[in-house]
Amino acid sequence: MSVFEFDQSLQLGIEAIDTQHKRFIGYINDVWDALERGDGHDEYLFILNQLMDYAMEHFSFEEALMREHQYPGYADHKKNHDSTAEQLFEFDMRLLADNPSESRAFVQFLQDWLQNHIKVVDIELAAYLRGKGVS
């Protein structure tokens, strides 16, 4: 069951970024599904780590794109990614894998953050890239 849907309000018109956001949301939904199923520690830890790895991969991808196109908002956008990564790493995945209520708080935090970040921060990057002919 998908809890977090990718809809028009999250579509930025830059194919690579939209594709990654869909995947990112897919990993978030995998965590919700694992919680719903009551997966055991190892399976659940694997899914949590996949989500964390993908979040970091996505941040690096966007940052490389910003540098490549000399995005003037690079420093602020990167700072936003970095502080979010710090907050995420404050959660211990091994402990989360044994604590469903903490885990729900973690995934809800990431879901709310991503939704807001796409609509407020990534949207500006997308507008800039479209202006540079990226689609």
Which residues 6+ apart lie within 8 Å of 4 measured at CB? 25, 28, 29, 32, 111, 115
Kindly state whether residue 88 participates in binding ligand FEO, applying the rule CB under 6 A.
Answer: no
Kindly state whether residue 27 participates in binding ligand FEO, applying the rule CB under 6 A.
Answer: no
Stretch that binds ligand FEO, among 26-34, 35-43, 100-108, 113-121 (CB under 6 A): 113-121
Residue count of the chain, please give it.
Answer: 135
Give the Cα separation of 30 and 51 in Å (integer).
8
Kindly state whether residue 62 participates in binding ligand FEO, applying the rule CB under 6 A.
Answer: yes
**Residue among 56, 102, 117, 123 that touches ligand FEO (CB under 6 A):** 117
Kindly state whether residue 78 participates in binding ligand FEO, applying the rule CB under 6 A.
Answer: no
**Residue among 35, 45, 56, 121 that touches ligand FEO (CB under 6 A):** 121
Residue closer to ligand FEO (CB basis): 52 or 58: 58
Buried b (16+ CB within 10 A) or exposed e, 10-31: bebebeebbebbeebbebbbbb
Kindly state whether residue 122 participates in binding ligand FEO, applying the rule CB under 6 A.
Answer: yes
User: Could you tell me how many residues of this chain bind ligand FEO (CB under 6 A)?
Assistant: 9
Minimum Å gap between C-beta 81 and ligand FEO is: 6
Minimum Å gap between C-beta 32 and ligand FEO is: 19
At how many degrees (to 10) do helices 41-68 and 100-117 cross?
Answer: 20
Count Cβ atoms within 10 A of the Cβ of residue 85 and give its class: 0-12 exposed, 13-18 middle, 19 or more buried: middle
Residues engaged in binding ligand FEO (CB under 6 A): 21, 58, 62, 77, 81, 117-118, 121-122
